[in-house]
Structure 1
Amino acid sequence: MTSTSRLSPLDPRLAAICDLSVSAARDGAGRHEYDGTVQDLSPDGVRRGLAALGGPAGTEPCPDPHDEAHAAAAEEALRVRFGELELHRSNPVWHIENLDLTGYDRPYAPAAERDAARSAHLRRWPDAVDAAVEALDRVPAALAKATLPLARGLSTFLDPRSGPVHTAAGRAHARLMTHLELAAAEGAPSAALGGPALARLLGAAEACTFDLTAMSARVDAERDRLRALLDESLRRIDPAAAPADTVRALQADHPDADSLLDEFAALVDETIAWTAQRDLVPHHDVEVAVRPMPDSQRRALAGLFASAPHEAEAAADFRVTLPDRGWTRAESKQWLSTGFNRTLMPNMAVHEVAPGHASHFRALRRAATDVRRTLHSDAFIEGWAHYCEELALEQGFRDGDPRVAVAVAQDGLRRVTRFACAIGLHTGAMTLSDAAARFTEDVSLAGPAALHEAERGLFEPSYGRYTWGKFAVLDLREQARARWGGDFSLRRFHRALFDLGAPPLGLLHTALERG
């Protein structure tokens, strides 16, 4: 178990970055000196945090030039997010994540220590909500509506019978809900960031220039490629049937809610064994338990919650979003058929477990420097896992079963549609209805599933990172093949990437130079 007393202190420069990204530092990197605390997201608190970036006067650059570029990219991303765009004033998600207590469920330390941290964090909810109400003065109506279910999910952490701390936190939560409900009724009609702001937000986070026009063209080409792959694979399954009929037949084959977790547990074992047999990644010592997704994290179909780089070894949790208890039988069936049918489920296990997230997170724990263990690119993390889906298809996962190709195409279409919708929603080229319709057209989602995906693009404008990161890894792999020639191997390439931790996409070239 990890105790905060056994953490080596961060240097002042990294500490300033973590002070402006407390949730990521605590739950993603495992910096548990932040346990029991909330980030000061008030306007004054954010200004103080921005002023501290770069460390005190005379701070030396990182010894490794790659680490220096990585740290500088993290600082620039924070300056854009909170300084130029002031997203803490318009996007409630930053404040909702600031209140979230899910991270204390992971066994990174003794239960008593984690319970004390959870209580201390809950005790700070009133202050965090005061800051949220002060800061959130620009919330568009559509963005407020999209995040209300996430904010409502925070109530699962509350038990009024547990004493005055929970009672005070409950009152604070009610104030936050009232504020968001008012924004949903009276906020500005458009939640679009605008094209230049979107490009700045994405590019700063990944240490590169983001070209909206060029990326939109590549997204459209990827959509066409995946549609062709899907059509060809569906015809391999049933040459006599219309592709749409085959899709419906595949979607009808799904577990019920009661058996979903058990079936995923078997798939976890399968993907770990297959990845080890192929020796695709440096580390195969992964252990994963399958559990339901907490209500506060239901914006994703599934996700991996693993030991962070600064934590002790522990099994990861593969969390799965079960049908909402308030849904009708028809809505629940639709959720399972479109999100968790037996064609898609193996691909999700590849993505979340092996050789995807669980394999990568094992390598992150062994990264060589504090910069690499602490600062992580979401686009690389998700892009790697999405790349692994294509990798599994290339490497013959499940002996060439055409359903594997169907799943790769369908999940690829979901991710590329996210990218298209993020660009469309935030440039103003799409409405929320347009985006939901795009998910229905390209991904065969409908009803709450389509709307769920579209709304995510409003409060998570970077959710096209899956496809962007996959593009970057595939591009670099072709460069590695050309540069390394006969010395190229997948294991060598993957190890070179993992040695960098989870680098911004604009810094991946270091893997070629050092691999």
Structure 2
Amino acid sequence: MTSLRLLAPLALLTAGLSFVPVPPPAAAQPPTFAAFADDYYAALFAWDPNQATYAGVHDFDTKLADFSADNIAHRVDTLKRLQARLDTLRGGKLTAADSIDADALDHAVRAELLDTEVIGEWKRNPVPYLGKPAEGIDLLMKRSFAPPADRLRAVIGRLKATPPLLAAMKANVQNPPKEFADLGLIVAKGSVGFFRTDLPTWAKTAAGNDKQLLAEFEAANRPVADGFDAAAKWIETDLLPRAKGNYAIGADAFMKKLAYEEMLDIPLDRLLAIGEANLKKDQEAFAATAKLIDPKKTPQEVLASLTEDHPKPEDLVAATRGTIERTRKFLLDKGIVTVPSEVRPTIAETPAFMRTGGFASMDTPGAFETKATEAFYYVTPPEVEWDVKRKVEHMRQFNKTSLDIITIHEAYPGHYLQFLFARQYPTKVRKLYTCGTNVEGWAHYAEQMCVEEGYGAGDPKVRLAMLHEALWRDCRYVTGIKLHTAGWTVEQGKQFFMTEGYVEGEGAFQEARRGTYNPTYLYYTLGKLQIYKLREDYQKAKGVAFTLRAFHDEFVRQGGLPIKLIRRIMLPGDTGPTL
């Protein structure tokens, strides 16, 4: 943020002394892109303090987002003013690096305005309102960037900001899709447990002998726990019965979302054709690989025999921990990419309030965090209230062979490695900006690339596990398009995952439902294909000087920019398509 410097007042000289002329003021400096980037992120962090905490900027740790209708209108006004400033800057002379970053922020502003003004997520989805409090407080609890008592004081601030957020949800969310209300109920119930049990346990330790601080916490926490309990009942008895909204955003908004978030300019029909063709290619490879394992069984039967070997729910964390050293050692032995740290991620169960359908995730600190560098690799066990069949279906996804592929995606050389490179990102924008085709595309690319480079020593079971993960992503690609542009129901999406991706019922349902609130989750496959195309073009440009390690290092150290911009950096002067 820009600071004003105050000039010391000039005293009048006494009579008889020579007059000393005051020099004219310096000419005003023209606005710079660096100043704009500072202002953009200052406004973003004030709007959503959780993002500041995550990034490692701790100026907003006592605050939560204000999602009242008035403040949302204010945010829209702010974005439009920023857009006007950025248009002026982009119309002038920018350095090559600033031009790339300016393009990224231009698209970020347009994407947020689309979500707010056109799609209207704030009027149809209770989950952001319900998730922000526990998410923001969890960030303060688990990362030791300050003494525990200081972090507890920040927690108290966020607790006090929670009731207005829940009130804004009730005022703003009127007719959500049923799927969004269902997810809201899950998050609300998970949050009750967090505020009644997990948070108070931590707070007692954090407060130490400071009884007054603990009492202040308890006074602030009690109404929040009660508020989430009331929110869950409100969703169940009031919101769900009237949740008749349509989750589909329509073809126009769908394509604009891809254009703004991923810088994609492929027509919808060609986009769908690319996904369907890749699904067919992966199905054929899956069938051929299954035949190598057991030619007497169907591909689905071979897969079923593979998924039977899975850990018990209580052993999931320990089983996942065992995959870390194998995958990391492979990268080092093969020289596939630089691993710039000896520090490993912490493996833990996904917190209850974060369980909205995913199986595994990586939670890493932002690039500006200098003290709290803990990273968490989360795996999600089945819920205790599920029936036996549903629990077994869930745990099959964590079968012994697939766990290694999941760790390649989440940790080495996937998301955790991206985090390890974050401090090397060359600009503020690239340290803070991410898009799906880069971040998730890279992690998905890593799965296939590692197997191609010899992970599993040619074992067809490992290749089959990798291909099954690819089929999941291919089905996301097609299902997302169909849910939002072709009138598909969640049940149709579920059946597609089951028949085309060989995903069992529970996983298929979770994946199809995810597509309702994550329309463009095709970015896994789309990003992977774009990275392979970039690698091919980069290899042609480098010729005999090409090495896989150099390509990977150069790609990862640029940050999470859209692939179109990464191409401009890695292939100067190139104007070729991303696919």
Fold equivalence (TM over 0.5): yes
How many angstroms apart in 2 are the aligned matches of 1:279 and 1:200?
A: 39
Partners of 2:46 and 2:106 lie apart in 1 by 15
Structure 2 residue aligned with 1:380: 438
Deviates more, 1:89-98 or 1:393-402: 89-98
The answer for the alignment partner of 2:241 in structure 1 is 185
Counting aligned pairs with the same residue, the percent is 24
Please say if 1:109 is aligned against 2:145.
yes
Q: Relative to structure 1, is the Cα distance of residues 12 and 382 closer, same or farther in structure 2, using a 3 angstrom cutoff?
A: same
Structure 1 residues 19 and 208: CA distance shift in structure 2, 3 A: farther
**Structure 1 residues 179 and 194: alpha-carbon distance in aligned structure 2, compared to 1, 3 A threshold:** farther
Within a 5 Å distance, the mapping from 1:76-155 to structure 2 comes to: 76-99=110-133, 100=135, 101-110=137-146, 111-155=148-192
Query: Any idea what the Cα deviations from partners look like across 1:68-97, whole Å, max 9, x if unmatched?
Result: 112222111111111232211112232233
- 2:41 paired residue among 14, 24, 30: 14
Q: Which has the higher contact order (CA 8 A, sep 6+)?
A: 1
Deviations 1:313-364 (A, max 9, x none): 6342111001111112332122111x11112111001001111111111111
Paired residue type of 1:459:
Y
Q: CA distance change for structure 1 residues 55 and 310 in 2, over 3 Å: closer, same or farther?
A: same
Q: Is the 8 A contact 1:208 1:505 kept in 2?
A: no
TM-score of the two chains, using structure 1 as the length reference: 0.92
> Which region of structure 1 is more displaced relative to structure 2, 163-172 or 431-440?
163-172
Q: In the alignment, is the contact (CA less than 8 A) between 1:129 and 1:175 conserved in 2? A: no
Write the deviation string for residues 122-149 of structure 1: whole angstroms up to 9, x where unpaired. Answer: 2211011122222213412332124321
Question: Which consecutive residues of structure 2, in runs of 5 or more, have no partner in the other structure?
Answer: 1-34, 201-216, 574-579
2:336 matches 1:336: no
TM-score when normalising by structure 2 = 0.82
**Which of 528, 531, 540 is the matching residue for 1:470?**
528
Cα contact 2:282–2:471 (8 A) shared by 1: yes
Please say which of residues 60-69 and 468-477 is displaced more in the overlay: 60-69
The alignment partner of 2:408 has SS state of helix
Instruction: Select between 215-224 and 82-91 the one with higher mean Cα deviation.
Output: 82-91
State the shift of 1:158 in Å: 1.3
Contact 1:37 1:124 in 2 (8 A): yes
Work out the CA distance in 2 between the residues paired with 1:44 and 1:379.
33
| Aligned partner of 1:283 among 339, 353, 357 | 339
Q: 2:466 maps to what in 1?
A: 408
Residues 56 and 437 of structure 1, relative CA distance in 2, 3 Å threshold: closer
Structure 1's 418 and 96: CA in aligned 2 closer, same or farther, altered over 3 A? farther
Unaligned runs of 5+ in 1: 1-7
- Tell me how many residue pairs correspond in the alignment: 506
Tell me the alpha carbon deviations over residues 376-421 of structure 1, each in whole angstroms, 9 at most, x when there is no partner. Answer: 2133111110010011111010211112211111001111111211
Offset, 1:22 = 4.1
2:17 corresponds to which residue?
none
* Distance in 1, Cα, partners of 2:533 & 2:395: 34
- Higher mean displacement: 261-270 or 81-90: 81-90
Answer yes or no: is the 8 Å Cα contact 1:108–1:311 preserved in 2: no
- Pairing 1:41–2:28 present: no
Structure 1 residues 250 and 57: CA distance shift in structure 2, 3 A: closer
8 Å CA contact 2:176–2:245 kept in 1: the answer is no
Does residue 251 in structure 1 map to residue 307 in structure 2? yes
Equivalence for 2:257: 201
Shift of 1:55: 4.2
Q: Is the 8 A contact 1:40 1:128 kept in 2?
A: yes
In terms of Rg, which structure is larger? 2
Secondary structure at the residue paired with 2:463? helix
State how far apart, in whole Å, the 2-side matches of 1:243 and 1:208 are.
34
The alignment partner of 2:571 has SS state of: helix
Aligned pairs (5 A) from 1:304-453 = 304-312=362-370, 314-337=373-396, 339-453=397-511
Shift of 1:245: 2.1
- How far apart are residue 276 of structure 1 and its match? 1.9
CA–CA distance in structure 2, aligned partners of residues 76 and 116 of structure 1: 36
Match of 1:292 among 349, 356, 367: 349
Equivalent position SS for 1:308: coil
Task: Give 1:4's aligned residue.
Answer: none
User: Does the 8 Å contact 2:339/2:417 carry over to 1?
Assistant: yes
User: Which residue identity does 1:36 align to in structure 2?
Assistant: T
